[in-house]
Structures are given as C-alpha cells and as structure tokens.
Amino acid sequence: MVTLSISTSINAPIERVFDLARSIDLHTRSTAKTGERAIAGVTSGLIGLNEEVTWRAKHFGLWQSLTVKIVAYDRPIHFADEMLRGAFKQLRHDHYFESINTGTLMRDEFSFEAPYGILGRMVEVVVLKNYMQRFLIARNQVLKSTAESNDWARYILAR
C-alpha cells in the first residue's frame, strides 16, 4: 500500500476550503485533463456524510469508473472518502483542514493499493505513486486558486 501526504497552504477561511474540497463541480473542473465527470450518486453540489459518487475518467488511455463514499465527516476539519468499486484493490482519501495565520492548511492523506499482488505492488511504486501525486497536486492548485479568488462562491453559495 502507498500513502501520499500532500499539504497545501490556502489564503482563505477554513469553512470555504472545506466546502470547496467536497464540491463535485469544482472537482470536475480541477480534473478536466482526464475528462473526469460524476455519472451516478451525487453528481453536482456538495457531497456529505454517507453519500456516494461515481466518477468516470480517462487514465492511462483507458476509461475507468470509481465509486467512493464519504465515510467520515467533521466539518470543517476532516472528511474521508473510501472506494466502494473501482480499479484499485483499496483506496482511502482523508482530507484534513487546519486554520493557520494565513488562512487554511489543507492536508491530503491518500492511501491506495493496486490489485494483482507483487505485480500490482511494482506498478504502485514505479507508476501510480508519481501519477497520483501529480494528479492531487494539480487538483489542489485549482482548489487553491478558486478559494483565493472571487470565483469560489459559485461552487458553494449557489446551492
């Protein structure tokens, strides 16, 4: 199993950052390179505890689906989603938020395990670890720029 830890400092209030992190619409915008879109469950707005979303996206040239459920929720400091169905053997994404002098420190703890035993383990280390880290960093940069601009309100207040 691989665990990635990524911290992003965002000059915005903790509640705004927390809600943007669970916005289906902002997630779709932040993952445009993979064509990711919500196709089942909560498909727009803000996702909450015990709710599910199924994402469809193109990774490594293949269309894939991933269904996750929000399994932990403590606004505005933490929420977690876990994979119910998808290409991984196991996947959990914990999102942590902390108020700091300049706004919010957002920390992602992203753990995953590929299927196929030792072959999957080699793919985790050689390919997936770097790919997923770049994917999360790019997503967080979109979230950061949105939270620090006036654009954030269309993802939260319009609901």
Q: Please give the mean pLDDT across all residues of the chain.
A: 93
The pTM of the whole model exceeds 0.85:
yes
Instruction: Extract the tokens encoding 152.
Output: 């954030």
Name the band, by pLDDT with cuts 50, 70 and 90, for residue 158. low
Long-range residue pairs from 29-32, CB within 8 A, at least 24 positions apart, any chain = 29/142, 29/146, 30/138, 30/139, 30/142, 30/143, 31/57, 31/135, 31/139
Structure confidence by residue, pLDDT tens digits, 50-62: 999 999 999 888 8
Considering the segment(s) 2-156 as one domain, its CATH architecture is 2-Layer Sandwich (3.30)
Instruction: Extract the tokens encoding 65.
Output: 């689906």
The rounded distance, in Å, linking the Cα atoms of 17 and 28 is 16
Structure confidence by residue, pLDDT tens digits, 102-156: 999 999 999 999 887 777 777 777 778 999 999 999 999 999 999 999 999 999 9
